[in-house]
Structure formats: structure tokens, C-alpha cells
Amino acid sequence: MGVLEGRVACVTGGTRGIGRAIAEAFVREGANVVINGRSEEKGAQALAEMGAGAAATFIAGDVKQREACESLVDATVARYGRIDILVANAGGGTGHAPVADLTDEAMQDALVWNFWHTFWTMRRSLHHMIPQGSGRIMAVSSVEGKVGKPGISIYVVAKHAINGLVKSAAKEVGALGITVNALCPGAIETDVMKAEGPAAAAAMGLTYQGLLDLFASEAAIKRLNEVEDVANVAVLLASDAGGGITGSMISIDGGTSPY
């Protein structure tokens, strides 16, 4: 018996990387999971690799669109009858630059992609979870939600904003059987990292490898984190045993953040 038997989860950005690892861990623990992504092809590939049969469903959508976020949550309920767990995981940033050179568009895009998507999916999930009297909401934030590297302020800002939303929302629904937490991973070399890392590195005056080395050097473990690190904490938070943890910003960063 898994610790999430019969639970229903929705994971944005769930076809690869951290979201995929979380979705797979939830399935292993007996949950039904909706994974979201922009690409039907990647979605189909993810489902095939997961081999979870009816326990996993892919729903395409761009989390930068409010309607897509809301219909994703509603579709999860339609597919599996309820929603117990939301993981607002999708995110990233493009157009990195130091603040003096940053464009409005880059800042806005990062906020929509990371923060607004979290807000939209959280709000919709709460509409279902509050009458239900139970739920688990997790935002995949970042160590950058606690610290602040030069050159990537669009990402730092969005992740800090997510942390604030988590703290506030947690206090609102704490007595309603719903927990709201932020997972704050250190750097992980996911596909998103490989795609955006070079530009982020350039904005910081580094090579891509130099960026990875910098992240590793800032951790006590002197290496990057892995997607499973985040998935393991997500399972704990999602389970009954995690019902006493809320409003938290949990560092999964190999000893990088100072708090």
C-alpha cells in the first residue's frame, strides 16, 4: 500500500524534469496523476515511459494562459473525480539580464510563467479542495526563492513571490485540512536547465559549465541536486504524515540556502 493510494494529483510541467519525477513518485505510491505540458508529443512520450496505464493522464496546455491553468485543474477533477494534490511545478526564465539591462517583457514573462501560473492553479484547486476539506498544494520554488543571484533577477523575483503566496495562502486554509508549501530545490540539470542555462550563464558572465560549477560550489555537497531529491519531499508532504507541515519553504539544496 502506497502512502498516496486513491489520491488524485495534478502536476504542471510534468512530462520531464522535476515534475516528471514527482509524478512518477506519486504513481508509485498509488496516486492517479494528471501531468501537463505544452507538447502533445512529449506528453505521449512521457506516458509511454511511465507505463502507468490509467493512473496517468496527459493534458496539454500552456500554463502561461489563465484559461489553460484553470481548465487543467477542472479536467483533473473531471478525469479522476477529485483533486487532492496540486504541484505547481512548471517554470523557468528567458531573457536573463542584469537589472539595468532587463526588459519589461523578460520580467513579465518570468512572472507569468512561474508566479501567475502558480496563483491560477492554486486558486482553482482551492475551489475544489476547500469544500472537500482536504488538499495538498505544493509550489516548486527554488533556492532562488530565498537567495538572490546576480543576473537572474527575473527568476529570483518570481520564486520569492511564490514563497510569499505560499505563506499567505497556508494561513488562510490551515484549519481546513489543506497544506500549502514551497519546495526550494538547488540547481538540478534538467532539460530546462540545459535549454536556458547557457543564456543565464552569459547574463552572469559565465560559461554554462561555469554556471553549473558555481551552483555546485555553493552547496555543502559540492554537486548539483537531483530530481528525485524533490520528489521524495513531495511524497512526504502529500501524504497524511505531511499534514502538519504548511507555509514552509523547504530547502532541498545540498546546504546552499542560509535559512
Partner 1 sequence: MGKLDGKVACITGGTRSIGRGMADAFLAEGASVVVNGRDEAKGQACLAEMAAGDRAAFYPGDSAKQATVEGLVDFTIERYGHLDICCLNSGGVVNTAPVAQMTDEEWALEIDWNLNHVFWGMRRALQHMIPRQSGRIIVTSSVEGKLGKPGLPGYSATKHAVNGLVKAAAQEVGTLGITVNAVLPGLVETDILRATGPDSAIAMGVGSYEALLDLFAQEAAIKRLNTVEEVAAVAVLLASDAARNMTGCLFPVDGGTMPY
User: Nearer to partner 1 by C-beta: 178 or 211?
Assistant: 178
Q: Of the residues 146, 155, 251, 257, which is catalytic? A: 155
Residue 259 known to be catalytic: no
Q: How far is the CB of 175 from partner 1 (least distance, A)?
A: 4
Q: Of the residues 141, 142, 251, 257, which is catalytic? A: 141
Q: Of the residues 142, 146, 159, 251, which is catalytic? A: 159
Residue 155 known to be catalytic: yes
Q: How far is the CB of 145 from partner 1 (least distance, A)?
A: 11
Residue 248 known to be catalytic: no
Q: Which residues bind partner 1 (CB under 8 A)?
A: 167, 170-171, 173-175, 179, 219-223, 225-226, 228-229, 232-233, 236, 239, 241-259
Q: How far is the CB of 181 from partner 1 (least distance, A)?
A: 9
Q: How far is the CB of 134 from partner 1 (least distance, A)?
A: 12
User: Nearer to partner 1 by C-beta: 65 or 232?
Assistant: 232
User: Nearer to partner 1 by C-beta: 195 or 236?
Assistant: 236
Secondary structure in 3-state letters for the chain: CCCCCCCEEEECCCCCHHHHHHHHHHHHCCCEEEEEECCHHHHHHHHHHHCCHHHEEEEECCCCCHHHHHHHHHHHHHHHCCCCEEEECCCCCCCCCCHHHCCHHHHHHHHHHHHHHHHHHHHHHHHHHHHHCCEEEEEECCHHHCCCCCCCHHHHHHHHHHHHHHHHHHHHHHHHCEEEEEEEECCECCHHHHHHHHHHHHHCCCCHHHHHHHHHHHCCCCCCECHHHHHHHHHHHHCHHHHHCCCCEEEECCCCCCC
User: Nearer to partner 1 by C-beta: 70 or 228?
Assistant: 228
Task: Report, as residue numbers or ranges, the catalytic residues.
Answer: 141, 155, 159
